[in-house]
């Protein structure tokens, strides 16, 4: 269900940008998905196609993943997020609310749960390609 809500928000944002930029057609939309969001790309892609209006019927949706990097606020060590070390309940919690990662993850160097998410969080539109109206 999470992916369907994201698809709806993405399409709404694209429509707003299309109107602002006065695009007659849209050919490609590139979406960047942070690894911590744990989005099922195939479900998101399916939802985007199912929810697309006439303006988006021939659009190629490119969905790219962004690796997550974490940085300890105590020892300043940085490390990559590794979902393979987590159980399904933890993964589900992080999927819906990435901020709870602080509850389950700790710095591998000093063991502190006080870290920042430097990269790999969120969902954003990276690029929209189309043809301007004349």
pLDDT tens for 92-125 read: 888 777 778 888 899 999 999 999 989 888 899 9
In whole angstroms, what is the distance from residue 41 CA to residue 19 CA?
27
In whole angstroms, what is the distance from residue 8 CA to residue 10 CA?
5
Domain residue ranges in the chain:
2-132
pLDDT tens for 37-50 read: 888 899 999 999 89
Examine the pLDDT at 89 and tell me if it is beyond 60.
Answer: yes
In whole angstroms, what is the distance from residue 66 CA to residue 34 CA?
5
What beta strand segments (E) does the chain contain?
23-34, 60-66, 69-72, 78-80, 115-119, 123-132
Q: What Rg value do the Cα atoms of the chain yield, rounded?
A: 18
pLDDT tens for 49-85 read: 898 877 777 899 999 999 989 999 999 999 998 878 8
Average pLDDT score over residue span 118-133 = 90
Domain with residues 2-132, CATH architecture: 2-Layer Sandwich (3.30)
Q: What angle do CA 125, 63, 25 make, to 5 degrees?
A: 60
């Amino acid at each position: 269900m999470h992916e369907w809500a994201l698809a709806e928000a993405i399409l709404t944002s694209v429509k707003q940008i299309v109107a602002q930029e006065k695009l007659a057609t849209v050919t490609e939309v590139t979406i960047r998905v942070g690894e911590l969001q744990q989005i099922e790309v195939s479900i998101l892609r399916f939802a985007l196609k199912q929810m697309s209006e006439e303006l988006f019927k021939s659009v190629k949706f490119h969905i790219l993943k962004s690796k997550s990097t974490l940085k300890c606020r105590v020892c300043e060590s940085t490390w990559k997020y590794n979902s393979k070390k987590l159980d399904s309940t933890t993964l589900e919690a992080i999927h819906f609310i990435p901020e709870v990662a602080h509850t389950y993850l700790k710095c591998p160097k000093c063991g502190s749960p006080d870290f920042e998410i430097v990269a790999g969080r969120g969902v954003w539109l990276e690029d929209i390609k189309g043809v301007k109206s004349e």
